[in-house]
Homo-oligomer: A and B are copies of this chain.
Amino acid sequence: MSEYDLLDTKSGNSVVAAIDHGLSLGAAEGFRDPEATLQSILKGGPDAVLVGPHFARHYNALIKDAGVDTVVTADIVSSSTRPGFDDGQDIWTPGFDTELLLDLDPKGVKIVLVFGRDDRQMFVRNLSYIAKMAEELRGTDIPLVVEPVMWGSRVPTELETHPEYVSRAARMAWEYGADILKLPYTGDPVTFEPIVKNAPIPVMILGGPNTGSTLEMLTGVEGAIASGARGIMIGRSIWKTDDPTSVVRALEGIVHDGKSADDVWDV
């Protein structure tokens, strides 16, 4: 039914729980015990988990036993040379060998594309790496997932989900080689729908820094799905909550069954 295994579900959409944060944040509050967090997420039955390749390697048995697919993160991004801190520093690098990534049998390979950086050279390397990875995945059936984000200090936080920024960034991401977009949601279907429609590739949405309530997050997902998004790749809004299992299940209700946020979440 779909062009990629990842989206070859009943609904054609996919729920991907993002748990690759150890690469950037180290042992973050709420995700210090990787196995416990993983288990609570797998119990919710997501379609896939987004993980670092060595996370995938160490917890492979658990993930496979749960019948869950993996999408792997290929690059490393951070905001400080101190472990897991945010000092506003531009730090990014291609991470892992493509052969390692492919041997993990992933349903997708994910790279960020960080706009707004002060460090032009790092931005340029980021562009080149997307183009290079797109070429390395060509001829496999594994899609390149690009996540264009506005994390650089030259974009004020309040504009990171602005439709103008998101639509331009989305366009650039697939022009550079993305097969699937992992986009920030702009907040409403009116502005998000044309972004989805204008992309010749599937759009999924990211979660961002779990600042609001779970219901708010789910309402956003509802809007994104209504706008034509093909699913979600959300992390902190799942594992930072008290009950990741239930949040994953709620997401499935919206993403696969077309339910509303209110249907699936009881505040």
Contact between chains at B81 and A27 (CB < 8 Å): no
The secondary structure that dominates the A interface is: mixed
Contact between chains at A32 and B148 (CB < 8 Å): no
Copies, count: 5
Q: Answer whether residue A33 sits at the interface, using C-beta atoms and an 8 A cutoff.
A: yes
Q: Answer whether residue A174 sits at the interface, using C-beta atoms and an 8 A cutoff.
A: yes
Which B residues are in CB contact (< 8 Å) with A93? 124, 127-128
Contact between chains at A81 and B201 (CB < 8 Å): no
Q: Answer whether residue A138 sits at the interface, using C-beta atoms and an 8 A cutoff.
A: yes
Q: Answer whether residue A115 sits at the interface, using C-beta atoms and an 8 A cutoff.
A: yes
| 8 A Cβ contacts from A109-127 to B | 115-118, 120, 123-124, 127
Q: Answer whether residue A95 sits at the interface, using C-beta atoms and an 8 A cutoff.
A: yes
| 8 A Cβ contacts from A189-239 to B | 194-195, 197-198, 200-201
Which B residues are in CB contact (< 8 Å) with A198? 27, 32-34
Least CB distance, A122 to chain B, in whole angstroms: 8
| 8 A Cβ contacts from A85-123 to B | 87, 89-97, 99-100, 115-118, 120, 123
Contact between chains at A172 and B34 (CB < 8 Å): no
A-B contact pairs, 17 of them (CB 8 A): A22-B171, A23-B176, A27-B171, A27-B198, A28-B168, A54-B175, A54-B176, A54-B177, A55-B175, A80-B154, A81-B116, A81-B117, A81-B123, A83-B168, A83-B172, A87-B154, A91-B124
Q: Which positions in A face B, CB cutoff 8 Å?
A: 22-23, 25-28, 32-35, 52, 54-55, 58-59, 76, 80-84, 87, 89-97, 99-100, 115-118, 120, 123-124, 127-128, 131-132, 134-135, 138, 148, 150, 152, 154-155, 165, 167-172, 174-178, 194-195, 197-198, 200-201
